[in-house]
Amino acid sequence: MPSSAAPLPIRRIALTTGGGDAPGLNAVICAVTRAAQRRGWTCVGIRDGYDGLLRPERYRPGDGCIELTSERVEGIAALGGTLLGSTNKGDPFAYPTAQADGSAALLDRSQDLLDALAREGIDALVAVGGDGSLAIAHRLAQRGLRVVGVPKTIDNDLDGTVMTFGFDTAVGFASECIDRLHTTAASHHRVIAVEVMGRYAGWIALHAGLAGGAHAILLPELPFDLGAVAELIARREAQGLAYSIVVVAEGAYPRDGSRLLCGPAEAGHAERLGGMGEQVAQALARLTGKDARCVVLGHLLRGGSPTAFDRVAALRFGAAAVRALEAGQSDVMVALDGNDVHPVPLAEVAGRMKAVPLDGGTLATARDLGVCLGVSAATAA
Ligand SMILES: Nc1ncnc2c1ncn2[C@@H]1O[C@H](COP(=O)(O)OP(=O)(O)OP(=O)(O)O)[C@@H](O)[C@H]1O
Ligand SMILES: O=P(O)(O)OC[C@H]1O[C@](O)(CO)[C@@H](O)[C@@H]1O
Ligand SMILES: [Mg+2]
């Protein structure tokens, strides 16, 4: 449970960025550093998730954990990526460790991490991450560490917050790409499938598809029937609209099939989704007789400078995390709730996925616009 009781004074905090990178991470680093400095606290950044402390030998002496100062974070809020590096391998509670026979065993290195934080004189941790990183943060809090989480992910699949930072930038870039694909698809009378990231949630696909005027959007939340998409393409053809854009979430799958992986789960690393865009393009070419192509936006969605919205959200989250620590809170995540940022218990969000609600307003908007969701009229909600 989050606690507000008898806060001990804080003098030094650590910051970590974990999971896939997202535009806005540097803005959080900037805000946490400056807000900490204003309170007279010092702030350090741990390299690559927790690797800077768990594998210090990988870094130049003293560089696994770097001092963050106002000077060091000057101008970084506009930059993509993370100054500290990130990882989506190596949960400290199941840390992949090479064995003599070449295999990797998953070891619980959480105590090593807590010891290393104590040696650095760290009083509290700000953990910036998605569902996986925040589940780790929650477990660290349960082990007695003062922790505040900050919600990050381009996927927007984190529960307990209206939005994560990184999502707006990813959607903006994806919709710009879709805009560009309209003209080439129209010129060649083609079907173009655009595969976007998002893991098991369709937030990026739905929002980018709507913003980019896609004709069909296939989401993990609604297993699809390509017959419905082929019908839409034929209807458009009959109206003299000889091209179509189909946005495919990487986690989408057919009603009679399953998700596609481009990499299996390995020790300490989740499975990698990918390939459904190409499969959809090939199947639609067969079903419609039209020329079809697939474009995979992939990691381009994680790159580049954060939008103003993501910068402001990230700055607000970072500053709110420091205020939460100052107020004696721990085991909480700062969350966007309407217009304000409030702490919510990490237990309520860690490891929980937020899917696109099938009865939500955005999906209703897509239906009202006549966007095909890969569901035949008979089964459509
Ligand atoms: N600090 C970290 N050190 C090592 N591994 C981490 C760390 N944070 C997260 N991970 C691992 O990375 C994976 C994803 O983390 P998380 O959910 O936080 O990221 P994300 O933004 O949702 O992006 P993605 O899930 O696509 O990598 C999880 O399997 C988690 O165990
Ligand atoms: O960096 P990796 O391992 O390719 O991760 C890819 C995954 O990370 C994300 O970009 C962010 O969570 C997902 O959308 C995607 O499935
Ligand atoms: Mg995740």
Ligand that comes closest to the CA of residue 155: 2
Q: Are residues 142 and 156 in the same domain?
A: yes
Contact of 193 with 294, CB cutoff 8 Å: yes
Pocket test for ligand 1, best of 88, 145, 150, 161 (most atoms within 8 A of CB): 88
Residue 4 lies in a domain: no
Within this chain, do residues 275 and 322 fall inside the same structural domain, yes or no?
A: no
Phi, psi of 211 (to 5 degrees): -65, -35
Q: CATH number of the domain that 258 lies in?
A: 3.40.50.460
- What number is the ipTM of this complex? 0.90
Residue 148, both tokens = 């505040």
133 lines ligand 2 (CB under 6 A): no
User: Is residue 6 assigned to a domain?
Assistant: no
The closest ligand to the CA of 263 turns out to be 2
**Residue type (1 letter), 132:** G
Query: Is 152 domain-assigned?
Result: yes
Reduce the secondary structure of 107-172 to three states and give it as a string: ECCHHHHHHHHHHCCCCEEEEEECHHHHHHHHHHHHCCCCEEEEEECCCCCECCCCCCECHHHHHH
* Residue 129 is labelled as binding a ligand: no
The finding on whether 268 has its CB within 6 A of some atom of ligand 2 is no
Q: What is the pLDDT of residue 6?
A: 64
What's the pLDDT score for residue 379?
Answer: 54
Taking the complete model, does pTM exceed 0.80, yes or no? yes
> Does one domain contain both 333 and 215?
no
CA distances from 51 to 21, 25, 103, 119 (A): 15, 17, 20, 15
Q: Is 155 a catalytic residue?
A: yes
Has residue 1 been placed in a domain?
Answer: no
Question: In this structure, are 138 and 123 located in the same domain?
Answer: yes
CATH for 16: 3.40.50.450
Judge whether 367 is annotated as a binding position. no
| Domains in the chain, number | 2
Distance 152 CA to ligand 3 centre (A): 9
Q: Are residues 157 and 30 in the same domain?
A: yes
Q: Are residues 245 and 342 in the same domain?
A: no
Q: Is the CB of 41 under 6 A from ligand 1?
A: no
Q: Which atom of ligand 1 lies at the shortest distance from residue 17's CA?
A: 1
Domain that holds residue 64: 12-165+306-348
Q: Is 154 in the pocket of ligand 2 (CB under 6 A)?
A: yes
133 is in an annotated binding site: yes
Reference 3, options 343, 243, 272; nearest CA is 343
Is any ligand 2 atom within 6 A of the Cβ of residue 198?
Answer: yes
Same domain, 28 and 143: yes
Q: State the burial class of residue 97 (Cβ atoms within 10 Å of its Cβ: 0-12, 13-18, 19+).
A: middle
Give a yes or no: residue 2 inside a domain: no
Q: Does residue 7 sit within a domain?
A: no
- Whether 301 has a binding-site annotation, put simply, is yes
Same domain, 73 and 20: yes
- Do residues 181 and 295 make contact, with C-beta atoms less than 8 angstroms apart? yes
Q: How far is the CA of 80 from the centre of ligand 3 (A)?
A: 18
User: Block means of pLDDT (10 residues each) for the chain, length 381 residues?
Assistant: 66 97 98 98 98 96 96 98 93 91 91 98 97 95 98 97 97 98 98 98 98 98 98 98 98 97 85 97 98 98 98 98 97 95 95 94 98 79 47
Instruction: Verify that 214 and 287 share a domain, yes or no.
Output: yes
Number of H helices, E strands in the chain: 10, 15
Residue 3 lies in a domain: no
* 158 and 58 in a common domain: yes
Asked, for residue 50, whether it belongs to a domain, the answer is: yes
Q: Which atom of ligand 1 is nearest to the CA of 197?
A: 26
Choice among 21, 123, 155, 331 that is catalytic: 155
Ligand 2 centroid – CA 167 distance (Å): 13
> Same structural domain for residues 151 and 76?
yes
Residue 132: φ, ψ to 5° = -65, -50
DSSP 68: E
Cα(56) to ligand 2 centroid in Å equals: 26
Tell how far the Cα of 88 is from the centroid of ligand 2, in angstroms: 8
Tell me if 199 CB under 6 Å of ligand 2.
yes
pLDDT score recorded for residue 381: 47
Question: Do residues 65 and 160 share a domain?
Answer: yes
